[in-house]
Structure 1
Amino acid sequence: MQTPSFDQLLEATCHFGHLKRKWNPAMAPYIFMERNGIHIIDLYKTQAKLEEACNALKNIAKSGKKVLFVATKKQAKQVVADRAGAVNMPYVIERWPGGMLTNFPTIRKAVKKMTSIDKMMKDGTFDNLSKREKLQVTRQRAKLEKNLGSIADLNRLPSALFVVDVMKEHIAVAEANRLGIPVFGMVDTNSDPSTVDFVIPANDDASKSIDLIMSTVCEAINEGLEERKVEKVDNKDAEEGEEGENKPRRARVRRNAAVKEVAAAAPVAEAPKAEAEPEAPKAEAEPEAPKAE
């Protein structure tokens, strides 16, 4: 991952803030100057904060966790959908459904409803409905797909939230703060950075600025995912290597056990009895010599 240079950030108009009268004083540390009534963001701080956020997001992706992207403003919708979809991360680009994080089980029920409608269409149940019922079900399915289709694979709460324009998505940020979910956000000069854990001071109104920040962030996430794959392969190879080293020893143990088992099961043959040897005939006693008188 390569952090955008100062010139790239400048070219993408990341330095433009809001009018001076609309600023939030908490953003003072990230403001470089004021020109023609408009605040200019310090791009060196943008670089440093962007790198910090990317490293954190990379670690989250490397651990196999999900990052939820939120951007419902017109300039950011398509950019976020394309970039987040490319790294297989969930995103919300339509209206933020209130309670999506704090009342997550209810949102999961709505997603399951969408799945059950799909099942109806496949098994033929949908064809048995009346014309009016079909229309109602189709409309319900389209509405669910529009609002929740991009989070259908989100089976548990996300490990982080990435927000474009924290002022517009204040409900999402508040829910994440309540649940202790870390928030990453593009923060403009009119927003409050105290509600965001990883602040990226940048222009959140220009599509070029949003695209540059999003591409950098998603590149870091992609690197984390690739490293996770490599680690999995290495661990698998290591396990197979250990198994290969232990194979001969295991084979010997199995063979010895089999030999013992066969030996124990085989009947013990009795040794044949030795035939008794015939006794040698007794020698006849010789007659005694007559005694001399």
Structure 2
Amino acid sequence: MRQIYASRRKGRTLVTPVTMKQLLEAGVHFGHQTRRWNPKMQHFIFTERNGIHIIDLQQTVTRLDEAIDFVREVVAGGNDVLIIGTKKQARETVEQEAQRAGLPYVNNRWLGGTLTNFRTIQARIRHMRDLEDRTERGEFARRAKKEQLDIANEIERLNRYFGGIKYLDRLPGAVFVIDTMKEAIAVAECERLGVPIVSLVDTNCDPDPIAYPIPSNDDAIRAIKLILGKIADGAIEGRAAREAGVGAEAYSEEMAQLAAAEEAAAEGEAPEAPASPAAPTAEEPVAAATATASEEQTTG
């Protein structure tokens, strides 16, 4: 197994911890029908209810925390995290969150060789950018209308596949995948190149190739938005640390201290040393997951 698990939180982060209530409301706990499960996911399954596997949300919280830490460190180190999510219900969220965090993304179709044949893909991207630049400068203004239309259509087609990675000038430091089954080719390319994978893993997935698996429903739009939003927050924090010229952990600790000092000043008290945020506990919410499973259906 190529999983890379952190035994504890590596450092402070300003990313607001996800709560059990948020996970439940987003339907993160709903896996697939039991007959469609992958036995390798047994460790991440809490129980089964009415033929549906219920994901252990306590582990979701822990694994998500570790994934946020990792993404934060990758971006703080000057590398990109490529977001991959081409299934219909993920496309809009992938584009929005990737753009918010300033990360490259693929949300239409994964072209085989995007990573393993990166030099050829880069040539196509340079061609696309060249056409865009020349169009902006008006170099095609005197061409025949049909030729102008052909050029515009080519730019649109190339942007459909490469628009999210047009500024990716080297292999990413890691990738974040929405659905490893849907993105099997991308996962295989990452494995071949040794690029670490962070991914949602539903109950029908194989977690073995994933360095940082996050057990979660990978079909529900709200679940995708919630998890990817936290990953994007981690990337934003990592970028801020990089721009500040300090490590991600040092930056987070400094910001936490400043926030504590400001809060104490507002209350007229001496600031206390900042504490690492504790992961939410499961207890009642996880039990509620099994109770609600009979009333809801999995989106997968």
Tell me the residue number matched to 1:173: 187
Q: Tell me which of 37, 40, 60 is aligned to 2:51.
A: 37
Q: How much identity, in percent, do the aligned residues show?
A: 43
Tell me the residue number matched to 2:80: 66
Q: Tell me which of 113, 134, 145 is aligned to 1:99.
A: 113
Tell me the residue number matched to 1:48: 62
Q: Quick one: distance in 2 between partners of 1:10 and 1:122?
A: 48
Alignment partner of 1:13 is 2:27: yes
How many pairs does the alignment contain? Answer: 232
Alignment partner of 1:205 is 2:214: no
Q: How well do the aligned residues superpose, as a CA RMSD in angstroms?
A: 1.2
Alignment partner of 1:85 is 2:99: yes
Q: Quick one: distance in 2 between partners of 1:122 and 1:216?
A: 36
Tell me the residue number matched to 1:275: none
Q: Where in structure 2 are there 5+ consecutive unaligned residues?
A: 1-14, 247-300
Q: Quick one: distance in 1 between partners of 2:226 and 2:145?
A: 48
TM-score by length of structure 1 reads 0.77
Tell me the residue number matched to 1:137: 151
- Give the 3-state SS of the residue equivalent to 2:175 in structure 1: strand
Deviation at 1:118, TM superposition (A): 1.9
Deviation at 1:106, TM superposition (A): 0.9
- Code of the aligned partner of 1:20: T
Q: Deviations over 1:118-167 (max 9, x none)?
A: 23324443123223322221111110111111111101111101000111
Deviation at 1:229, TM superposition (A): 2.0
Higher RCO (CA 8 Å, separation ≥ 6 residues): 2
- More helix per residue: 1 or 2? 1
Tell me the residue number matched to 1:120: 134
Q: Quick one: distance in 2 between partners of 1:113 and 1:158?
A: 21
Deviation at 1:67, TM superposition (A): 0.4
Deviation at 1:61, TM superposition (A): 1.0
Q: Quick one: distance in 2 between partners of 1:10 and 1:125?
A: 54
TM-score by length of structure 2 reads 0.75
Q: Quick one: distance in 2 between partners of 1:173 and 1:53?
A: 17
- 1:228–1:124 CA distance, 2 compared to 1 (3 A): closer
Q: Quick one: distance in 1 between partners of 2:224 and 2:133?
A: 38
Tell me the residue number matched to 1:149: 163
Q: Quick one: distance in 1 between partners of 2:70 and 2:167?
A: 23
Q: Quick one: distance in 2 between partners of 1:122 and 1:33?
A: 57
- Give the 3-state SS of the residue equivalent to 2:238 in structure 1: helix
Q: Quick one: distance in 2 between partners of 1:107 and 1:192?
A: 28
Deviation at 1:8, TM superposition (A): 1.6
Q: Quick one: distance in 2 between partners of 1:132 and 1:201?
A: 51
Tell me the residue number matched to 1:248: none
Alignment partner of 1:164 is 2:178: yes
